[in-house]
Structure 1
Amino acid sequence: MDADDKKRLAAEASAWLVRLQDGERTLQTDAAFRAWLKTSPDAAEAFARVTDLWELLPGAAAQMSPVPAKPAKAFPVRRALFLGGAIAAAVVLGIGVSPLLRTQTLAYETGVGQRESATLPDGTAVMLNTNSRILVSYSAQRRRVTLERGEVWFDIRHDADRPFIVYASGEQVEALGTAFVVRGDPQAVAVTLARGRVRVGPADEDRAPSSKLSASVILSPGERAIVVAGERLVVDRPSLEAVMAWRRGEIIFSDTTLSEAARELNRYNTMRIVITDPKVARLRVSGVFETSNAQEFAATMAQLNGLHARRSGEVIELGR
């Protein structure tokens, strides 16, 4: 790549950085950004350098919001153009960044009932499900993501020199050029692979792992690894449509007990469904439902099974 191409790529990367911090950012913006990353094999590296320099500019980091669930405040046009130009100039002039300063940590999170899409600094696309939070920490050697709670879809931007690893409840998921979903809760961690390959196993030593697993497993597309209580590893092949349904605001049940279905719906709603009758809890349910409408689900279950749906405040009790 000659000098003119480097200058052009740096300017484009700077413009994209400003655009991605805009409070009016949309899914279309993220899609366009991913398309730009594919225009050149050096685009992702240029954007990473721009992001690093943004963090180093006085006052710049303090004005950018790292949490997509709370849209960043849009910069005034002149301010945005000035910052973008300053970053581009720094890149063109070849300002170096030490490995220590290149490390940064960003937080992405959603509240109950929210879904958010974001593009990480390396071009990796993520979507966070309800009540989820991740910490993203990139260095020159490794890309780390810690799933603190919830469920996240990852579509990894390949980088052979920097492994992409997700940590969740003492386990680690190493992406080998892939797209997958990780879901974590206090009892289990589930990793479902849609494309490519991932390695699932105990976290490496520097993460002070709580896992008791002695070995890891490499998944093939369509497989799911479930680590229960850090002790037992189960691999199965679920319905990918059901696993991914939350990405379009739906939830799919297939011969699921009513108690399990209610527990799953409760992840997405402040309105809680409660079942105290064991016989009612064991009823089976199949179908496609909206994640955001617990009240409609409860009414449908009551009608189909001859139950009563009694609402008291933010609680709906299903019973005889």
Structure 2
Amino acid sequence: PRSRVNRTRRAFLGGAVAAAAGGWLMARSPLGMWPEMDALGADFRTATGEQRTLDIQGVAVAMGTRTDLRRVDGGTGLQLGQGEAQFSVPARGSAGVAIHVDGARVTPAAGTRINVRCVGADVRVTCLAGTATLTRGTRTVTLQPGWQARLGGDRIASVAQVATDRIDAWRQGWLVADDQPLAEVVDEINRYRPGRIVITGAALQARRVQARIPLRDLDTFIDLVRDVYGARVVNMPGGVVLLG
């Protein structure tokens, strides 16, 4: 009768909502506890806090945390989906290798080392040694050592000199904050640390940070924020920490 039909309808609708929510959770991992759906089809990927070194067709590749790479161009090129990686081309060989990121093509010369980062809207290509040609749309630039190009929208947004020691810090086991908002630093820490650090106050998010944080012990940063800014620390299950 009517009551049975209503129960069946509620059960069906409830199951549909649960399935939809489950599909969304599988596609999006707010705590970074599993890879995004796009990363699951990558040829190479790293988990939270993991780094990996590879030799791909003579190119030395160092993958940072939560990074995915795919072979493209018939296997002769590499595409960085999300994350950060360094590519070192030997002085001889591996001619013509290309790295693709966010619609741009990077062609490093022999003997070149470049750092490529694509984390959300933060897309940068930094030349650490040698030279690399970056093409996006109708614009092409040649990057010399110490020069970085930022990509924005569908264009090369800017090209400028940067401090390469900060760019290279993750390879040495450090995360360097150079007068950055606390919220920005925490976002980067969350890429390396299981669980999540959440800042609950807008004023605390805006505080500027100058720090050198060891990747092997990121929780020392939580102690730093508590001691320097007087933040209240609440530890929750699953590695979630509230700072307020």
Task: Give the TM-score, by structure 1 length.
Answer: 0.59
Match of 1:132 among 67, 77, 93: 67
> How many Å separate the matches in 1 of 2:220 and 2:229?
14
Q: 1:21 — aligned with what? A: none
Deviation at 1:306, TM superposition (A): 1.3
Deviation at 1:191, TM superposition (A): 0.5
Deviation at 1:147, TM superposition (A): 0.8
Deviation at 1:137, TM superposition (A): 4.7
For the pair 1:189 / 2:113, whether they are aligned, the reply is no
Match of 1:226 among 134, 150, 164: 150
CA deviations over 1:97-117 (Å, ceiling 9, x no partner): xxxxxxxxx922211100111
Assess if the C-alpha contact under 8 Å between 1:256 and 1:286 holds in 2. Answer: yes
Assess if the C-alpha contact under 8 Å between 2:59 and 2:94 holds in 1. Answer: no
Q: 2:180 — aligned with what? A: 256
Structure 1: 5+ residue stretches without partners: 1-105, 203-212
* CA separation of 1:130 and 1:216: change in aligned 2, threshold 3 A: same
Assess if the C-alpha contact under 8 Å between 2:66 and 2:83 holds in 1. Answer: yes
> How many Å separate the matches in 1 of 2:236 and 2:93?
55
Q: 1:118 — aligned with what? A: 54
Structure 2: 5+ residue stretches without partners: 1-41
> How many Å separate the matches in 2 of 1:273 and 1:230?
32
Deviation at 1:188, TM superposition (A): 3.6
Assess if the C-alpha contact under 8 Å between 1:128 and 1:153 holds in 2. Answer: yes
Report which structure shows greater RCO (CA 8 Å, sep ≥6).
2
* CA separation of 1:179 and 1:232: change in aligned 2, threshold 3 A: closer
For the pair 1:240 / 2:164, whether they are aligned, the reply is yes
Task: Give the TM-score, by structure 2 length.
Answer: 0.76
> How many Å separate the matches in 1 of 2:107 and 2:156?
19
> How many Å separate the matches in 2 of 1:161 and 1:301?
46
* Identical residues among aligned pairs (%): 24
Assess if the C-alpha contact under 8 Å between 1:147 and 1:167 holds in 2. Answer: yes
3-state SS of the aligned residue for 1:131?
A: coil
Count matched residues: 201
Assess if the C-alpha contact under 8 Å between 2:139 and 2:156 holds in 1. Answer: no
Q: 1:198 — aligned with what? A: 132
Deviation at 1:158, TM superposition (A): 4.8
What residue identity is the alignment partner of 1:315?
A: V
> How many Å separate the matches in 2 of 1:216 and 1:201?
4
> How many Å separate the matches in 1 of 2:86 and 2:60?
8
Q: CA RMSD in A?
A: 2.0
What residue identity is the alignment partner of 1:144?
A: G
Q: 2:243 — aligned with what? A: 318
3-state SS of the aligned residue for 1:216?
A: strand
3-state SS of the aligned residue for 1:135?
A: strand
> How many Å separate the matches in 1 of 2:72 and 2:154?
24
> How many Å separate the matches in 2 of 1:266 and 1:161?
35
